[in-house]
Homo-oligomer: A and B are copies of this chain.
């Protein structure tokens, strides 16, 4: 039966709840599969799709964005050019997140160092300032 998973099997295999799969379908994130009788039957590659969604979410994409990324990979009627554009957009978003996180890390390291130097009560330590140096106006 490698070509057909019930929703329960799919859920187990991709480590999510059955309800979550139904939820994704209602939201249009996951394409509804063909039904055999009244029951959904999923091709095996849906496991990869769900894992992809979960991975995307872990990396800070919303469910909707995860769906967009997924559909880039899946829509065979789209041209490579279209895909490229959206993909590069996402790459830039990721780069920005990385950059911001690095700044945040630096701020925290400054805080850490600022404490390492002396084992004083924190009141002696200009911490908040330490944090805020790179605070940007938006």
Residues on A facing B (Cβ under 8 Å): 15, 45, 48-49, 51-52, 55-56, 58-60, 69, 72-81, 83-84, 87-88, 90-91, 94-95, 97-98, 100-102, 104-105, 108-109, 111-112, 115-116, 118-123, 125, 127-128, 130-132, 135-136, 138
List the B side residues contacting A105 at CB < 8 Å. Answer: 91, 94-95, 98
**Apart from A15-B138, A84-B116: 11 A-B pairs, beta carbons within 8 A:** A48-B128, A48-B135, A52-B131, A73-B127, A73-B128, A73-B131, A76-B122, A76-B123, A78-B121, A79-B121, A87-B111
Main SS class of interface, A:
helix
With A94-B105, A97-B101, A138-B15 as known contacts, state yes or no: A120 contacts B80, CB within 8 Å.
Answer: yes
How many copies of this kind of chain does the complex include?
2
List the B side residues contacting A116 at CB < 8 Å. Answer: 80, 84
Asked whether A51 lies within 8 Å of B87 as measured between CB atoms, the reply is no
CB distance from A26 to the nearest CB of B (A): 23
Within 8 Å by CB of A135, from B51, B80, B115, B130, lies B51
Asked whether A77 lies within 8 Å of B121 as measured between CB atoms, the reply is yes
A81 CA / B101 CA spacing, docked (Å): 24
Within 8 Å by CB of A108, from B45, B76, B94, B120, lies B94
A100 CA / B60 CA spacing, docked (Å): 10
Within 8 Å by CB of A91, from B79, B90, B112, lies B112
